[in-house]
Chains A and B, each alone.
Chain A
Amino acid sequence: MVPLHYYLVLSAILFACGVTGFLIKRNIITIFMSIELMLNAVNLSFVAFAAHWHVLSGQVFVFFVMVVAAAETAVGLAIIIAVYRTRETLNVDQVNLLKL
């Protein structure tokens, strides 16, 4: 028996790591990976609550989160490639205009 708290604390730590990476990283790909880390942390708490209350809907939501994350990654990486083609940099400090 593992207390539910432990899972939630682990999820919170991972989410905080993701937020920190989003704030301190300057490479746009690493920022994207931090977003994935945050989504994973939320998935963990979904599964923990689903197991705790014996409701399978939480796991179905994890499935939807994964699908949305996959779509987001595909579009986001395509945008990164487009930005890199015009700017030739991956540093977000140098990408400070909305237009390409």
Chain B
Amino acid sequence: MLHLILFSVFAVIAVAGALNLLIQRHPISSALSLIVVMGSLAVEYLLLGAEFVAAIQVIIYAGAIMVLFVFVIMLLNAGVEARTKGSKVALILGFPAMLAGGLLVAWVLVRAPNVGSVNVGAMYGPPKAIGWLLFHDFLLPFEVTSVLVLIAILGSVVLASPVRSRFSRPQPEAEPHPAFKVAASGEETISARRSS
């Protein structure tokens, strides 16, 4: 009974945070409500006995990823979201789509055969067992993950570096291409080109 109460309280907090993420117009408010969602999800993981997952949820998600988000929001000085014609269309289409998707999932879950209930509080999922599984059965994915993280680090450094790479627009002070010069300088250049 206590577990059910705890589950309900933190489920309500999580859903409220998710809805607040949708309602808020300023990105920093959305980021803070996402932190609320992640914190309450960590409590849900603890209720499910996944203590290791709860710990890395707090450390990685709420600690690292959200700090990165807040950092970028502050770096780019992101203001209140602007409303355009496209955003109104998205607003009109988005909420019925969410309602339809939610109803579909709820229908599938209600129609499903009895899947039973979760035995809460058994503390199933100690870090030792997860570590054993990670370095025996999932050793190859784990190593591939390290390569993925390395590539992500390199990619983000290259993408976010202030040096203009060859992917970005040519600099305005650079010498324009001769074709652009001809098009820009009007009639007499074109006639000169015709005569030549």
Of residues 9 through 67 on chain A, the ones whose CB sits less than 8 Å from some CB of chain B are: 9-10, 12-21, 23-27, 29-30, 32-34, 36-37, 40, 43-44, 47-48, 50-52, 54, 56-57, 59-60, 62-64, 66-67
CB distance from A21 to the nearest CB of B (A): 5
Known A-B contacts A2-B3, A12-B109, A60-B134; A47 and B159 likewise in contact (beta carbons under 8 Å): no
CB distance from A45 to the nearest CB of B (A): 11
Binds A, one of B144-152, B174-182, B188-196: B144-152
For the A-B complex, the count of residue pairs with Cβ-Cβ distances under 8 Å equals 250
A56-B38 Cα distance, complex, nearest whole Å: 21
* Total chain B interface residues with beta-carbon distance under 8 A: 88
Of residues 107 through 125 on chain B, the ones whose CB sits less than 8 Å from some CB of chain A are: 109, 115-120, 122, 124-125
CB distance from B167 to the nearest CB of A (A): 6
A13-B118 Cα distance, complex, nearest whole Å: 19
**Interface pairs (15), CB distance under 8 Å:** A24-B94, A30-B21, A36-B34, A40-B41, A51-B48, A54-B124, A67-B145, A70-B65, A71-B152, A73-B68, A73-B69, A77-B160, A78-B156, A82-B168, A93-B87
User: Given A10-B15, A26-B82, A75-B155, 15 more contacts at CB 8 Å?
Assistant: A16-B98, A20-B98, A29-B31, A30-B27, A47-B48, A51-B119, A51-B124, A56-B124, A63-B56, A74-B153, A77-B160, A78-B156, A80-B72, A82-B160, A100-B168
| Residues of chain B whose beta carbon lies under 8 Å from any beta carbon of chain A | 3-4, 7, 11, 14-15, 18-19, 21-22, 27, 30-31, 34, 37-38, 41, 44-45, 47-50, 52-53, 56-57, 60-61, 64-65, 68-69, 72-73, 75-76, 78, 81-84, 86-87, 90-91, 93-95, 97-98, 101-102, 105-106, 109, 115-120, 122, 124-125, 129-130, 133-134, 137-138, 141, 145, 148-149, 151-153, 155-160, 162, 167-169
| Residues of chain A whose beta carbon lies under 8 Å from any beta carbon of chain B | 1-10, 12-21, 23-27, 29-30, 32-34, 36-37, 40, 43-44, 47-48, 50-52, 54, 56-57, 59-60, 62-64, 66-75, 77-82, 84-86, 90-91, 93, 100
